[in-house]
Amino acid sequence: MDSIVKILKIIGMIISVFIITVIAQNLGLLWHLFQWNRIESVLHAITYIIAAYLLIKLFITKVLNDKLSNYNIKSFRFYPSMFVLGILIPTLTIAIYLLFVDGHFEIPNYTHNVSMYTTIIDTVFISSIAAPIVEELTVRGVMVSYIAKKFNMFVAVIIPSLLFASLHLFNGMLSGTSLLLLMIGGTLAGILYSLAMLIFNNIWASIYLHMMWNLFGLINISTHNEGIGVLQYTIKTNNVALTGGEYGMDASIISISAYILGIIILGIAYYKKSSIESK
C-alpha cells in the first residue's frame, strides 16, 4: 500500500511538472505575436526561464514544503570540467561523422521566412539556453530528487531519463527502429545529465552538458538539406543506425556511443565521489 501511495505521488509530481513546463513555454510563445526582428525569440527564452523557475519554486516551497537546494536547484556556478566535457561529446560525434561517414558540406536551404540570422538567434537563445535550463530544472532538479526521496537513486535516474526520452516524441510521430533509437539515445542522454548533476549536487553541472549539445546543433547532419543550422553536412547513407532514423543524428549510433563515453567518464567520477563519502 505504501508503494502505491509513493507511485501515485510521483505521478502527481510528474503531471504537475509537465503542466508547469507547458504554462511557462506558452507564456514565452506569446512574444511571437509580435514581429520584432527576432527580439521576440530572445524575450521568449527569458520569459520561459523566469516563468519556469518561479513556478517550480512555488511548487517546491508551497506544495512540497521543501527548499530548492534539496532539489539541487542552487545558485549559478561554473564547472570547467563539465563545460569541457560538454564540448568534447558533440565535437567527437561530429568528427566521427566527418571521418567515417561519406558526405559533403553545403549551405542550408532556408525557407522564405528563415535565414542564418534567425536560425542562430532561435538556436542559441531558445534551444541552447532556455530549453536546457528549464528541462534540467524540471527533469533533473525536481523529478530525480523527488523520486530519490521516495525510492532510490537508481530508480530516480532511470525513470526521469525514460521520461526525458519520451518527451522528444512530441517532435513527431516515430515508429519502429526510429522510435527505438530515440528511446535509447534519449534515455542515455538523460542518464548522462543526471550523473553530472549528482556529482556536483547542482543542476548547473548538467545544464552545461545539455547546452553544449544543443548548441552544436548549429551544424546539422542529415541525409538531405533540411534548411536548419548554419552549416549542413549531408551524409550519403540510408543506414538508420547512422542517420538516427526519423528523429535525426541525435539518435544515431554515433551519438549514442558518445553518450555512453560520457556516462563512463562521469560514472567513474561518481563512483569515486561515493567511495570517498562512504569512508
Q: What is the pLDDT of residue 173?
A: 56
The 3-state secondary structure of the chain reads: CHHHHHHHHHHHHHHHHHHHHHHHHHHHHHHHHCCCCCHHHHHHHHHHHHHHHHHHHHHHHHHCCCCHHHHCCCCCCCCHHHHHHHHHHHHHHHHHHHHHCCEEEECCCCCCCCCHHHHHHHHHHHHHHHHHHHHHHHHHHHHHHHHHHHCCHHHHHHHHHHHHHHHHHHHCCCCHHHHHHHHHHHHHHHHHHHHHHHHHCCHHHHHHHHHHHHHHHHEEEECCCCCCCCEEEEECCCCHHHHCCCCCHHHCHHHHHHHHHHHHHHHHHHHHHHHHHHC
Q: What is the pLDDT of residue 164?
A: 83
For residue 57, tell me if it sits in a domain: no
For residue 35, tell me if it sits in a domain: no
For residue 59, tell me if it sits in a domain: no
pLDDT (tens digit, 0 to 9) for every residue of the chain, 279 residues total? 688 889 999 999 999 999 999 999 999 999 999 988 899 999 999 999 999 999 999 999 999 999 999 999 999 999 999 999 999 999 999 999 999 999 999 999 998 778 899 999 999 999 999 999 999 999 999 999 999 999 999 999 999 999 888 876 665 556 688 889 989 999 999 999 999 999 999 999 999 999 999 999 999 999 999 998 999 999 999 899 999 988 889 999 999 999 999 999 999 999 998 888 876
For residue 206, tell me if it sits in a domain: yes
Count how many residues are written for the chain: 279
Provide the number of structural domains found in the chain.
Answer: 1
Following CA atoms 143, 147, 152, 153 in sequence, which dihedral angle do they give, to the nearest 10 degrees?
A: 0
Amino acid in position 85:
L
- Residue among 216, 246, 220, 247 nearest 233 (CA): 220
For residue 20, tell me if it sits in a domain: no
**Domain interval for residue 99:** 70-278
Specify the pTM. 0.93
For residue 29, tell me if it sits in a domain: no
Dist CA 104 CA 69 (whole Å): 47
Give the cell for residue 148.
Answer: 530519490
